[in-house]
Chain A
Amino acid sequence: MSKKILPLVLGAAMGVAATTAAGATTLEDVKAKGFIQCGVSQGLPGFSNPDAQGNWTGLDVDLCRAMAAAVFGDASAVKFTPLSAKERFTALQSGEVDVLSRNTTWTMSRDTQLGLNFAGVNYYDGQGFMVRKDLGVTSALELSGASVCTNTGTTTELNVADYFRANNMPYEIVAFEKADEVVAAYDAGRCDVYTTDASGLYAQRLKLTNPGDHMVLSEIISKEPLGPVVRQGDDEWFNVAKWTLNAMLNAEELGVTSENVDEMKASDNPSVKRLLGAEGSFGEAIGLSNDWAYNIVKNVGNYEESFNANVGPDTPLGISRGVNALWNAGGFMYAPPVR
């Protein structure tokens, strides 16, 4: 017995070393286990939010579902890990999740110092302020001396510090770990102002006792391009994430929707043919089947469908496309062509 312990321990140690140090690529791992582990928020309506049955929905969730559709042809081959703002990068770095699709702002330090890559932007956001209507405030520049509630571990905390400092206004910051506590404290009157990304303000306003008593100020004080994140150094998986998003945007631009995708497959338009795999072998080039984009649109829809179903004007959030419209409709959304 005693003689067996040492080799056992060392063997186990080596075994772990081998799997962690060498490792397969993420795409191989994902294919082997049969699903994608996707890091999402702990509940942000419109972006990633579980419903009463525990099914996750939202714009960020759709991106993970689209990746699953691209890899497996099955949008349900995803498991979700709710992460706090603080945990999210560590969870991705350590391999706990395969992709982080959690309204995460693309910044230079995150892109370069954390060993991560941003695979694009699926929502152009900016930080805003929400206040009670009865304060009579119309501009963020009148917020001198206010108490400001926000989330810790976000760019929000830095932006608000910069903004108040730049405008020489004193303020009191109250920073919570979880968004639910921020909402509760703001609702209780602990703070005059609630600040986070404007999309988040619209989403969280729904959780307040009287959403109608609160307004979002028009000032946007920062650039917050939100997008999916993957680990650096795995270009194959990076391509899958990047082109899943691009496929959804290209599908919208070419008028391919989940309803007409089967007819569009027979289209004469070479761009549509290339996208849907009727021509060329673009899917194989990124380690997938050639009908990858067909599966995305068929199972999840194009970007417009996802936007309208989750955050669009007909949803409780009621956010208009604005800067998130396609480039040819006055917005910033511009995907490189499939060719």
Chain B
Amino acid sequence: MSVMEQDSAGAPARASLMNDPKIRSIFYQLVLVIAVVSLGYFIVTNTITNLERQNIASGWSFLENTAGFGTNQSLVEYSETSSYGRALYVGFLNTLLVAAVGIIFATLLGFIIGIARLSNNWVINRLAYCYVELVRNIPLLLQIFFWYFAVLRSIPGKREKWSIFDTFHLNIGGMRLPKPIWEPGSEWVGYALIIGIIASFFVSRWARKRQEDTGQQFPVFWSGVGLIIGIPIITYLVTGMPMTLEHPNFVESGPILRQGFELNVGINVIPEFLALTAALSIYTASFIAEIVRAGIQAVSHGQTEAAHALGLRNGPTLRLVIIPQAMRVIIPPLTSQYLNLTKNSSLAVAIAYPDLVSMGGTVLNQTGQAIEIIGIWMAVYLSLSLITSAFMNWYNQRMALVER
């Protein structure tokens, strides 16, 4: 009572602490933090208690035990005697492979379709429109099944094949290619390739500087192609062609089971990989096409007119004026599509492609280490996504409008 009187007599009346916005906000934030921390604490301790109560072994030592199961695609040495850790690593690399190849194809196809959507040619325009509307409105899992099961049934069986130039073969067992066998001396071809890439980088820098100084242009693209492809070929010829091709071996006689392509001769791209890559890139390309179209349309038409007024032809206008400005609009949503594609690759499990989820699932089932395996899955997909978006953010900053 006395306090109140003092306040009303002296300094302006102070509201109760509850109504002080600063204290209120601190209080709410504190409550939120305590709630989140106690929830996290509860989840962790409860899990540990339950695992102990149910006598479920936990820990990471299982990663060193022998896996005992095989796989149909491995980028590194792997056999049944390898460890569970190795099996997960094989799955991780397979995920990376399908994601990387898928991203490349999806980007190429997406850009082509996106630009076709803007074509003045009515047929091309409508075809691109139909593609986008058809593909992006059908669930991805159905598309994967379509590419795997429907297409699989229409290609030749294991004892037959389709061949191109008698070098590339396709049947239900996959796509067979000749396998390069590198002999001693072939490392020089690799060095030559690196030299070619570095040289073409410097040539393009020099050409840009010369153009800025003198206005003269230099055929950067073709000289780059020449350097990157030409130098390794010359090296290859000079070192005496230190490479042979191991062709797939198609057996046509003997027991029926042995007929068809021999296992482990040449390169075999398994049909699961082909179907998954096709489905992922075609599906994601339909979204990328719309992003590209939106990005290009976001650049005001005045830019095209200005470029034409400066005397630039259609090609250079698109390449030098429109696309660089459109990229600023395109890159952020493009990043999400790349992340989607990577995460969608986990649908591989439906068609027997041995990706991280598939291999991890087998490990999980054999060891029963559900929490550890799911932890690995989440950590891997999270880091892949963070790395992809970090790279795309860096690229976005490079492409951003530089104000002078």
Q: Which residues of A are interface residues toward B (Cβ below 8 A)?
A: 2, 5-6, 9-10, 13, 16-17, 20-21, 85-86, 89-90, 93, 109-110, 113-115, 134-137, 142-147, 149, 152-154, 157-158, 160-162, 164-165, 170-178, 181, 184-185, 188-190, 192, 231-233
The interface-forming segment of B6-14, B27-35, B96-104, B232-240 is B27-35
Which of B46, B57, B364, B366 makes the CB contact (< 8 A) with A158?
A: B366
Check if A190 sits within 8 Å of B152, measured CB to CB: yes
Which of A113, A157, A170, A172 makes the CB contact (< 8 A) with B368?
A: A113
B residues less than 8 Å from A154 (CB atoms): 365
Known: A89-B370, A165-B80, A190-B172. 20 other contacts (CB 8 A): A21-B49, A86-B361, A86-B365, A93-B370, A135-B257, A136-B256, A136-B257, A143-B257, A144-B258, A153-B365, A153-B366, A154-B365, A161-B68, A170-B264, A174-B272, A175-B354, A177-B352, A188-B149, A231-B54, A232-B54
Check if A170 sits within 8 Å of B263, measured CB to CB: yes
CA distance A315 to B367 in the complex (A): 36
CA distance A137 to B173 in the complex (A): 19
Known: A86-B365, A153-B364, A188-B153. A6 touches B55 (CB 8 A): no
CA distance A170 to B367 in the complex (A): 26
Q: 1/0 per position for B43-79, CB-CB distance to A under 8 A?
A: 0001001110111110000000000111110000000
B residues less than 8 Å from A162 (CB atoms): 68, 80
CA distance A41 to B172 in the complex (A): 29
Q: Which 9 A-B pairs have the closest CB atoms?
A: A115-B54, A153-B365, A114-B368, A115-B56, A173-B70, A161-B80, A157-B69, A9-B35, A115-B55
Which of B42, B148, B153, B350 makes the CB contact (< 8 A) with A177?
A: B350
Name 24 A/B residue pairs within 8 A (Cβ), A-sorted: A6-B35, A9-B39, A10-B38, A17-B46, A85-B365, A86-B365, A110-B368, A113-B368, A114-B56, A115-B54, A135-B255, A136-B257, A142-B255, A145-B263, A146-B257, A152-B358, A173-B69, A173-B72, A174-B72, A174-B352, A175-B72, A177-B349, A185-B148, A185-B352
B190 contacts A by Cβ under 8 Å: no
B351 contacts A by Cβ under 8 Å: yes
B343 contacts A by Cβ under 8 Å: no
Check if B69 sits within 8 Å of A233, measured CB to CB: no
CA distance A120 to B180 in the complex (A): 55
Q: In angstroms, how far is the closest chain B Cβ from the Cβ of A231?
A: 7
Q: In angstroms, how far is the closest chain A Cβ from the Cβ of B91?
A: 11
Q: In angstroms, how far is the closest chain B Cβ from the Cβ of A164?
A: 8
Known: A172-B263, A181-B351. A147 touches B173 (CB 8 A): yes
CA distance A181 to B72 in the complex (A): 16
Q: In angstroms, how far is the closest chain A Cβ from the Cβ of B264?
A: 7
Check if B256 sits within 8 Å of A135, measured CB to CB: yes
B248 contacts A by Cβ under 8 Å: no
CA distance A146 to B51 in the complex (A): 41
A residues less than 8 Å from B31 (CB atoms): 2, 5-6
Q: In angstroms, how far is the closest chain A Cβ from the Cβ of B82?
A: 11
Q: Closest B residue to A85 by CB, please name it.
A: B365
Q: Closest A residue to B159 by CB, please name it.
A: A189
Known: A136-B256, A177-B349. A20 touches B46 (CB 8 A): yes
CA distance A90 to B364 in the complex (A): 10
Q: In angstroms, how far is the closest chain B Cβ from the Cβ of A214?
A: 14
Q: Closest A residue to B35 by CB, please name it.
A: A9
Q: Closest A residue to B257 by CB, please name it.
A: A135
A residues less than 8 Å from B55 (CB atoms): 115, 232-233
Q: Closest A residue to B251 by CB, please name it.
A: A145
Check if A145 sits within 8 Å of B365, measured CB to CB: no
A residues less than 8 Å from B316 (CB atoms): none
CA distance A230 to B361 in the complex (A): 22
B residues less than 8 Å from A152 (CB atoms): 349, 352, 358, 361-362, 365
Which of B38, B54, B263, B370 makes the CB contact (< 8 A) with A9?
A: B38
Q: In angstroms, how far is the closest chain A Cβ from the Cβ of B292?
A: 34
CA distance A185 to B354 in the complex (A): 15
By the criterion of a CB under 8 Å from any partner CB, how many residues of chain B are at the interface? 55
B271 contacts A by Cβ under 8 Å: yes
Q: In angstroms, how far is the closest chain A Cβ from the Cβ of B218?
A: 51
CA distance A233 to B351 in the complex (A): 38
A residues less than 8 Å from B173 (CB atoms): 147, 172, 190
A residues less than 8 Å from B367 (CB atoms): 109, 113
Which of A164, A175, A231 makes the CB contact (< 8 A) with B358?
A: A175
Check if A188 sits within 8 Å of B172, measured CB to CB: yes
Check if B39 sits within 8 Å of A233, measured CB to CB: no
Q: In angstroms, how far is the closest chain A Cβ from the Cβ of B141?
A: 11
Which of A6, A89, A90, A233 makes the CB contact (< 8 A) with B53?
A: A233
Q: 1/0 per position for B136-167, CB-CB distance to A under 8 A?
A: 00000000000011001100011000000000
Residue in B54, B258, B262 with the greatest tally of chain A CB atoms within 10 Å? B54
Q: In angstroms, how far is the closest chain B Cβ from the Cβ of A179?
A: 12
Q: Closest A residue to B62 by CB, please name it.
A: A113
CA distance A175 to B354 in the complex (A): 8
Q: 1/0 per position for B169-198, CB-CB distance to A under 8 A?
A: 000110000000000000000000000000
Residue in A86, A184, A232 with the greatest tally of chain B CB atoms within 10 Å? A86
Mark out the residues of chain B between 194 and 238 whose CB falls within 8 Å of any chain A CB in the assembled complex.
Answer: none
Known: A6-B31, A189-B172. A13 touches B39 (CB 8 A): yes
Q: In angstroms, how far is the closest chain B Cβ from the Cβ of A29?
A: 15
Q: Closest A residue to B32 by CB, please name it.
A: A5
Q: Closest A residue to B42 by CB, please name it.
A: A13
B residues less than 8 Å from A146 (CB atoms): 257
A residues less than 8 Å from B71 (CB atoms): 173, 175
A residues less than 8 Å from B51 (CB atoms): 115
Known: A178-B350, A190-B152. A17 touches B42 (CB 8 A): yes
A residues less than 8 Å from B351 (CB atoms): 176, 181, 185
CA distance A189 to B151 in the complex (A): 12
B residues less than 8 Å from A142 (CB atoms): 255, 257
Q: In angstroms, how far is the closest chain A Cβ from the Cβ of B153?
A: 5
Q: In angstroms, how far is the closest chain A Cβ from the Cβ of B347?
A: 10
Mark out the residues of chain B between 1 and 41 whose CB falls within 8 Å of any chain A CB in the assembled complex.
Answer: 24, 27-28, 31, 34-35, 38-39
CA distance A98 to B79 in the complex (A): 38
Residue in A20, A149, A177 with the greatest tally of chain B CB atoms within 10 Å? A177
Known: A13-B38, A86-B365. A189 touches B50 (CB 8 A): no
Q: Closest A residue to B41 by CB, please name it.
A: A13
Check if B350 sits within 8 Å of A184, measured CB to CB: no
